[in-house]
Amino acid sequence: MSTTADPLAALGSLPGVAASVESVRKAVDRVYGHRVMRRRSNEVTSEAALRGARGSAALSGADWALEEVRRRTDFGGEGEPRTVGAALRLTAEAGQLLSVWRQSPLRVLARLHLVAAGGAQADDTVGRPRLRGESVDEPLVDLPLPDADEVSGRLEGLAALLIAGTEAPALVTAAVVHGELLALRPFGSCNGLVARAAERIVLVGSGLDPKSICPAEVGHAEQGRDAYAAALEGYVSGTPDGLAAWITHCGRAAELGVRESTAVCEALQRGAA
């Protein structure tokens, strides 16, 4: 497929992107080769899911300690408990939607928002893109908000690209999906949580991380909200340098997620986890 027909693949030639793609691939290969993965990969997957949910919630304003997330069972309250609960539900749901994603990304995004909202919004705004005049509750993303018509058109365009298929590396596709959803904020709430869950779906469904053991959400949180916001501004700018900065930021997040799961593997090997 040519880069003209495959604009996602063209992003792979941006400065620094190819090196980031290769670095992520090598990191993922190393953790998949860990001896613990031969017999205990399910445990690593479960722990990665928990840590990824914690990281995603932290970026949405609920920065809880991992052990607090592990210990708690009640996430039905308002504020931070609801955010953490939404992140946990999304992480659990993402793995069930891989086959649907390949055929209908927009259907999956609607489902993700429905799961994230979790009944918190008892109205017809849940599970669909916002309409003209509807507000967005996303205080941690301080960027101009595209209008509903632009949101609709860009979502349709993104879905068409994904359904048609791309030769772009998984990291590039995941970063674009993540960045586009944050830029558009198509739903009335939970857009950050949904965007990071969609990034996970792409990384897993692409075959880069088939067992979902490399939680990029951990890396996004570790780099901090300020760096996350600055990289997103680069994506929204649409400039080659800005797009490259966002993709490499997502690559670093994935590598940090690999580091987290490598530590889990080492702990399991020592019998300490």
55-107 tens-digit pLDDT: 999 999 999 999 999 998 888 777 899 999 999 999 999 999 999 999 999 99
Q: How far is CA 65 from the centre of its chain?
A: 20
Convert the pLDDT of each residue in 195-250 to its tens digit: 999 999 999 999 999 999 999 999 999 999 999 999 999 999 999 999 999 999 99
Q: What percent of the chain is modeled with pLDDT above 70?
A: 96
Convert the pLDDT of each residue in 131-160 to its tens digit: 999 999 887 898 999 999 999 999 999 999
pTM of this prediction? Answer: 0.94
- The ranges assigned to domains in the chain are 20-268
Q: Tell me the C-alpha distance between 263 and 219, whole Å.
A: 14
CATH number listed for the domain at residues 20-268 = 1.10.3290.10
pLDDT band (50, 70, 90) for residue 272 = low
